[in-house]
């Protein structure tokens, strides 16, 4: 009997250790430090720590001839323990006129816009064809913080205020009249979802962008006048306070694609805000659900091609494409963004600043991202610790 009890006691200890490790143990590069607010606990959010950030797939759009960017993205994904799959980019000259949506036939669509449109449609097509619950779509010049998995865990908790109805109801926390604000710690942990850790009733999670705005009462009036069948715009803001991965306000304003001043004016330093998308531009990173991919593939694969893909996606999220049935799309974004363009001399973005001016190519940098994977790539390849990495947007003393 004493021996049997000993075995059971030992087994119990092993189980407890495994459970503790499951919830609190190291997850890749996050084990040495990271965000100073508590990690979201529970099995529902542990899926965010997997190799696809809790989505079924991560797709990267890449022109085959840009092997430099594919090399860089392959390394960046490996160094942060992500598994990515490739969607070949399309040269606009290889897109026949007859395959374009009908409303583009009398418009001058640039070759660049045609190629980008078709590549993103191919990514959406994969999501629909493979019946994926969700997928994250990245452009090949995207960059992120090495603490991305922890960031995404907390974003998932915040996003559920917009994407997951409360138990025994069809309403989300965002379905309230007027402006409201919650801290991420106030979002109930029991908003359980079946399909994704980010909730079930969403179309687009816009995680990497050049800029966005907070929806306001004037946004509601404008959208009602253009699309009366759409639901109103949620005005809820979910704040993530004391986020040490957010640069100081002076750094937020210093970038070519500066966020609106209201973020720095309205909130304490190191605050990230999750809210409904409004006038969001650039598509460095966005996730789609199965329902969102189907809606987008119908609207833009078959009906509409009038501008650059990011502008059309922004208008769609803003409810500016009237539909005979259905509600306004559920598009949730975050500022500062969690992904951004990487600039520099090698394997970097070709995007220009507003007004056509070029970003300084001599300075390697990524807006809004403090412990950038790309800026720290040489150090990470050499295996240095977290304490020796470059924080490119350090706080003032």
CA–CA gap between residue 329 and residue 310 (Å, rounded):
15
pLDDT at 41: 63
Average pLDDT estimate for 237-261:
79
Sign of CA dihedral 265, 268, 272, 273: negative
Q: How far is CA 174 from the centre of its chain?
A: 19
pLDDT at 225: 44
CA–CA gap between residue 70 and residue 94 (Å, rounded):
21
Q: What confidence category does residue 193 fall into, taking pLDDT thresholds of 50, 70 and 90?
A: confident
Cis bond leading into 3, ω under 30°? Answer: no
CA–CA gap between residue 73 and residue 345 (Å, rounded):
15
Is the pLDDT reported for residue 302 higher than 90? Answer: yes
CB–CB of 149/338 below 8 Å?
no
Q: How far is CA 314 from the centre of its chain?
A: 14
Average pLDDT estimate for 116-136:
98
Our CA dihedral for 375, 377, 383, 389, rounded to 10 degrees, sits at: 0
Strand intervals (E) in the chain: 57-62, 85-88, 134-139, 142-144, 180-183, 204-208, 236-240, 272-276, 285-289, 331-335, 339-341
Q: What confidence category does residue 357 fall into, taking pLDDT thresholds of 50, 70 and 90?
A: very low
Q: pLDDT tens-digit profile of 152-179?
A: 999 999 999 999 988 777 789 998 877 8
pLDDT at 171: 86
**Mean pLDDT (the chain, rounded):** 82
pLDDT at 165: 87
Does pTM top 0.75 for this prediction?
yes
The tokens describing 335, both together, are 């500022």
Q: What percent of the chain has pLDDT over 70?
A: 77
The residue with greater pLDDT, 193 or 308, is 308
pLDDT at 179: 80
pLDDT at 177: 75
Q: What confidence category does residue 143 fall into, taking pLDDT thresholds of 50, 70 and 90?
A: very high
Q: What confidence category does residue 328 fall into, taking pLDDT thresholds of 50, 70 and 90?
A: confident
18-32, 67-81, 355-369: least confidently modelled range: 18-32
Q: pLDDT tens-digit profile of 208-222?
A: 998 899 998 766 544
pLDDT at 18: 42
């Amino acid at each position: 009997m004493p021996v049997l009890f000993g075995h059971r006691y030992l087994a119990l200890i092993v189980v407890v250790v495994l459970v503790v490790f499951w919830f609190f143990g190291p997850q890749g590069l996050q084990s040495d430090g990271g965000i100073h607010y508590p990690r979201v606990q529970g099995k529902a959010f542990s899926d965010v720590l997997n190799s696809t950030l809790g989505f079924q797939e991560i797709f990267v759009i890449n022109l085959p001839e840009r092997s430099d960017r594919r090399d860089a993205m392959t390394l960046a994904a490996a160094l942060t323990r992500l598994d990515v799959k490739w969607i070949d980019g399309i040269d606009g000259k290889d897109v026949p006129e007859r395959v374009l949506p009908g409303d583009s036939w009398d418009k001058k669509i640039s070759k660049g816009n045609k190629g980008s449109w078709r590549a993103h449609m191919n990514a959406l097509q994969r999501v629909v064809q493979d019946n994926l619950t969700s997928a994250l779509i990245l452009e090949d010049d995207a960059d992120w913080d090495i603490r991305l998995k922890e960031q995404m865990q907390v974003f998932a908790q915040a996003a559920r205020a917009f994407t997951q109805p409360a138990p025994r109801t069809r309403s989300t926390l965002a379905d309230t009249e007027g402006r409201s604000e919650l801290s991420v710690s106030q979002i109930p942990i029991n908003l359980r979802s079946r399909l994704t850790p980010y909730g079930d009733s969403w179309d687009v999670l816009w995680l990497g962008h050049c800029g966005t705005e907070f929806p306001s009462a004037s946004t509601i009036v404008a959208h009602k006048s253009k699309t009366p069948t759409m639901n109103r715009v949620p005005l809820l803001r979910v704040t993530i306070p004391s986020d040490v991965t957010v640069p100081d306000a002076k750094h937020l304003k210093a970038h070519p694609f500066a966020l609106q001043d209201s973020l720095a004016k309205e909130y304490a330093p190191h605050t990230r805000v999750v809210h409904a998308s409004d006038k969001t531009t650039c598509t460095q990173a966005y996730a789609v659900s199965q329902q969102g991919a189907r809606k987008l593939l119908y609207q833009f694969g078959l009906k509409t091609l009038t501008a650059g893909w990011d502008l059309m996606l922004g208008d769609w999220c803003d409810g500016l494409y009237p539909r005979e049935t259905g509600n306004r799309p559920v598009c949730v974004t975050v500022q500062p963004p969690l992904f951004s363009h990487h600039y520099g001399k090698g394997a970097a973005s070709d995007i220009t600043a507003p007004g056509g001016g070029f970003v300084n190519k001599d300075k390697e940098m990524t807006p809004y991202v403090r412990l950038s994977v790309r800026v720290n790539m040489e150090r990470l390849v050499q295996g240095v610790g977290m304490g020796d990495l470059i924080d490119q947007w350090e706080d003032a003393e």
